[in-house]
């Protein structure tokens, strides 16, 4: 499979290792073990993939900071350019009470190893930030291919038929594969842009936002911005003594969902 992808021009590969702790993988219900995950990454690198991304999960029941440190240490020792660290969010599993401690350690540790945080869950070597995801966080258009895929083009969001057999049947017969859709008005599109862009460490530049949406963020979110400021969740970006935009504070990063949700 790696040869097929590489020979067909795929230049980036993301590997969902989730952990290098076999007991943790078992609790997560994964069918692979740590040695297999490592072999997969090494094989991709040997094949010629230079842009390899690795997914990890933290905050699993009974996981300690020591356990998570071990996972991160293994990760940075592998030939990867990008690491995504996701907090466990699953109703079937009990999350760790110390997830915030693990996350804060991640924010401090990975930059020391050359992986700069550019979004809530994502860290990369210089020049290897994920263009695919940056497209989402800038609220730019994208086309979804396949069952359940979502497209966002011209302010219209559409979701494809989730059932695989029905999707194939409709596609072959020339019928629509779209299951549902909605057209977003200007205000909602602007609010969603703010909610997505605030996830990035660079934050929201006021001029960028105005050019992107045709609206001013200070006016659009005139009620929420002061409240979020007062709660120390966001701060102004200062450029030449001028308020040029807003971004998350360290506290705001930990409560990103609250900030993002306030904008929509």
Give every strand in the sheet of 82-87, ordered side by side: 12-18, 51-58, 82-87, 122-124, 116-119
DSSP string, 163-207: -HHHHHHHHHHT---EEEEEE--HHHHHHHHHHHHTTBTT-EEHH
Provide the residue range defining the domain that includes 227: 200-263
114 shares a domain with 16: yes
Assess if residue 189 is contained within a domain: no
Q: How far is CA 119 from the centre of its chain?
A: 7
The structural domain count of the chain equals 3
Cα angle value 248/90/124 (rounded, 5°): 45
Query: pLDDT tens digits, residue range 91-148?
Result: 444 445 688 899 999 999 999 999 999 999 999 999 999 999 999 999 999 999 999 9
42 shares a domain with 103: yes
16 shares a domain with 99: yes
156 shares a domain with 124: no
pLDDT of residue 97: 60
Contact, 162 vs 85, CB < 8 A? no
- Final residue before a domain boundary, out of 119, 152, 184: 184
| Residues contacting residue 58 through CB under 8 Å, at least 6 positions apart | 68, 71, 85, 86, 87, 88, 96, 99, 102, 103, 106
122 shares a domain with 8: yes
d(CA 94, CA 34): 22
The CB density around residue 255, as the number of other CB atoms within 10 Å, is 17
164 shares a domain with 69: no
81 shares a domain with 160: no
79 shares a domain with 11: yes
The CB density around residue 86, as the number of other CB atoms within 10 Å, is 16
162 shares a domain with 206: no
Segments of the chain scoring below 50 in pLDDT = 91-95
116 shares a domain with 39: yes
Assess if residue 99 is contained within a domain: yes
């Amino acid at each position: 499979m790696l040869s097929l992808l590489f020979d067909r021009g795929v230049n980036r590969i993301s590997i969902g290792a989730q952990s290098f702790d076999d007991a943790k993988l078992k609790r997560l219900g994964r069918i692979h073990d740590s040695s297999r995950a490592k072999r997969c990454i090494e094989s991709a690198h040997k094949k010629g993939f230079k842009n390899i991304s690795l997914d990890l999960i933290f905050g699993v029941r009974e996981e300690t900071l020591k356990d998570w440190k071990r996972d991160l240490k293994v990760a940075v020792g592998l030939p990867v350019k990008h690491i995504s660290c996701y907090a466990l969010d699953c109703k079937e599993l009990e999350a760790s009470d110390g997830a915030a401690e693990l996350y804060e350690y991640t924010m401090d540790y990975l930059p020391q190893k050359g992986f700069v945080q550019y979004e809530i869950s994502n860290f990369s070597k210089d020049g290897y930030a994920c263009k695919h995801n940056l497209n989402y966080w800038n609220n730019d258009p994208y086309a979804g291919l396949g069952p359940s895929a979502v497209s966002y083009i011209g302010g219209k969001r559409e979701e494809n038929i989730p059932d695989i057999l029905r999707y194939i049947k409709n596609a072959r017969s020339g019928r629509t594969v779209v299951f549902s859709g909605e057209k977003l008005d200007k205000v909602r599109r602007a609010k969603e842009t703010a909610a997505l862009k605030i996830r990035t460490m660079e934050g929201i530049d006021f001029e960028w936002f105005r050019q992107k949406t045709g609206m001013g963020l200070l006016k659009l979110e005139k009620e929420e911005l002061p409240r979020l400021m007062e709660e120390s969740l966001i701060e102004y970006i200062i450029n030449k003594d001028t308020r040029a935009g807003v971004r998350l504070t360290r506290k705001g990063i930990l409560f990103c969902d609250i900030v993002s949700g306030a904008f929509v």
